[in-house]
Amino acid sequence: MTVLTISHVTKQLERNGQHFTAIDDVSLK
């Protein structure tokens, strides 16, 4: 599950680096 999320986030990061920060923050919390 975690790996899948990271993979999805990684792709999002490449497309939207700014959004990645927000997603990472929520995921961490």
How many domains does the chain divide into?
1
Q: What is the pLDDT of residue 3?
A: 74
Q: What is the pLDDT of residue 16?
A: 64
Q: What is the pLDDT of residue 20?
A: 56
Q: Which one-letter DSSP state was computed for residue 29? A: -
| Model confidence, pTM | 0.31
The predicted-structure confidence for 1-29, as pLDDT tens digits, reads as follows 567 787 877 777 777 655 556 566 666 65
Cα 18 to Cα 5, 8, 9, 26, distances in angstroms: 17, 15, 12, 13
What residues make up the domain containing 11? 1-28
